[in-house]
Amino acid sequence: MLDTSLRAATAGPSGLRPVNHLKFLADPARYLLRRVAPLPAEGFVPVSGRNGALLVARGQEAVRAFFAGKEALPRAGGGIFSLPPGHAWSGMFDTVLTANGPEHGRRRRLTAPAFHGSLTDTYRAVFTRTFASSRFADPESGTFDMVAEFRRIARVNMLVCLLGLPPAPENMRLAADVSGLLNSMLHPSVVLFRSFRPWTPYGRWTRKVERAHLALTGLVERKRAEPPARDALSMLCHTVDEEGDRLTTAEIAGELHGLFAAGYETTASAMTWSALTSMSRPDLVPDRLDLVVKETQRMLPPVALSLPRRVCEDIRTDDGGSAPANAVAFVAPLLEHRDPTVFDDPGRFRPERWEGFRPPPHAFLPFGIGKRRCPGAGFADLQVRTTLSLLFERSGWTLPDTRIGFRTESGIILMPDRPLPVRRARDRPLREVTGPLTALWRPADG
Ligand code: HEM
Nearest to 63 by CA among 84, 41, 82: 41
Which residue's CA is the closest to the ligand 1 atom numbered 18? 374
Amino acid at 6: L
User: What is the Cα–Cα distance from 125 to 122, expressed in whole angstroms?
Assistant: 5
112 within ligand 1 shell (Cβ under 6 A): no
Centre of ligand 1 from the C-alpha of residue 276, in Å: 22
pLDDT of residue 430: 92
Which position has the higher pLDDT, 191 or 126?
126
DSSP 255: H
The contacts of residue 386 (CB under 8 Å, 6+ apart) are: 124, 127, 128, 131
Residues 89 and 254: beta-carbon distance below 8 Å: no
User: What is the Cα–Cα distance from 204 to 137, expressed in whole angstroms?
Assistant: 39
pLDDT of residue 70: 65
Which residue's CA is the closest to the ligand 1 atom numbered 26? 263
Mean pLDDT of 131-150: 97
263 within ligand 1 shell (Cβ under 6 A): yes
Q: With 90 as the cut, is the pLDDT of residue 36 above it?
A: yes
DSSP letters of 303-328? BSSPPPEE--S-EE-TTS-EE-TT-E
Question: What CATH class is the domain 17-439?
Answer: mainly alpha
Q: What three-state secondary structure class fits 51?
A: strand
148 within ligand 1 shell (Cβ under 6 A): no
CA of 108, closest atom in ligand 1: 41
pLDDT of residue 274: 98
74 within ligand 1 shell (Cβ under 6 A): no
Q: With 70 as the cut, is the pLDDT of residue 389 above it?
A: yes
Centre of ligand 1 from the C-alpha of residue 381, in Å: 11
E runs forming strands in 193-348 = 309-310, 315-316, 322-323, 328-331
Min mean pLDDT across 66-80, 191-205, 334-348, 397-411 is at 66-80
97 within ligand 1 shell (Cβ under 6 A): yes
Nearest to 399 by CA among 427, 425, 435, 417: 425
Centre of ligand 1 from the C-alpha of residue 366, in Å: 9
pLDDT of residue 187: 78
376 within ligand 1 shell (Cβ under 6 A): yes
321 within ligand 1 shell (Cβ under 6 A): no
Span 341-373, pLDDT tens digits: 999 999 999 999 999 999 999 999 999 999 999
Span 180-200, pLDDT tens digits: 898 888 877 777 777 777 788
370 within ligand 1 shell (Cβ under 6 A): no
DSSP 300: S
Which residue's CA is the closest to the ligand 1 atom numbered 20? 374
Amino acid at 206: T
Residues 55 and 47: beta-carbon distance below 8 Å: yes
**pTM beyond 0.85, yes or no:** yes
Q: What's the mean per-residue pLDDT of the chain?
A: 93
DSSP letters of 94-131? -STTT--HHHHHHHHHHHGGGG-GGGHHHHHHHHHHHH
Tally Cβ neighbours within 10 Å of residue 340: 10
Centre of ligand 1 from the C-alpha of residue 239, in Å: 21
User: What is the Cα–Cα distance from 221 to 435, expressed in whole angstroms?
Assistant: 49
Model confidence at 78, pLDDT cuts 50, 70, 90, reads: low
User: What is the Cα–Cα distance from 213 to 88, expressed in whole angstroms?
Assistant: 8
Residues 328 and 354: beta-carbon distance below 8 Å: no
Amino acid at 254: G
Min mean pLDDT across 190-199, 324-333, 403-412 is at 190-199
Centre of ligand 1 from the C-alpha of residue 196, in Å: 31
pLDDT of residue 193: 75
Q: With 70 as the cut, is the pLDDT of residue 446 above it?
A: no
Nearest to 271 by CA among 121, 356, 392, 355: 392
Span 145-175, pLDDT tens digits: 999 999 999 999 999 999 999 999 999 999 9
DSSP 241: -
User: What is the Cα–Cα distance from 160 to 172, expressed in whole angstroms?
Assistant: 10
According to DSSP, the residues that pair with 422 across neighbouring strands are 144
DSSP 71: G
pLDDT of residue 79: 64
367 within ligand 1 shell (Cβ under 6 A): yes
Which residue's CA is the closest to the ligand 1 atom numbered 8? 367
Q: What ranges do the domains of the chain cover?
A: 17-439
Which residue's CA is the closest to the ligand 1 atom numbered 6? 367
User: What is the Cα–Cα distance from 300 to 231, expressed in whole angstroms?
Assistant: 30
CA of 371, closest atom in ligand 1: 41
Q: With 70 as the cut, is the pLDDT of residue 52 above it?
A: yes
Residue 409 burial (C-beta neighbours within 10 Å; 0-12, 13-18, 19+) = buried
- The backbone torsions φ and ψ at residue 371, rounded to the nearest 5 degrees and listed phi first, read -60, -25
**H/E element holding 190?**
helix 188-192
Mean pLDDT of 195-209: 87
Centre of ligand 1 from the C-alpha of residue 439, in Å: 25
Model confidence at 1, pLDDT cuts 50, 70, 90, reads: low
Residues 295 and 277: beta-carbon distance below 8 Å: yes
Rounded (to 5) percent helix, strand, coil in the chain:
50, 10, 40
User: What is the Cα–Cα distance from 284 to 293, expressed in whole angstroms?
Assistant: 11
Centre of ligand 1 from the C-alpha of residue 331, in Å: 14
Span 87-104, pLDDT tens digits: 999 999 999 999 999 999
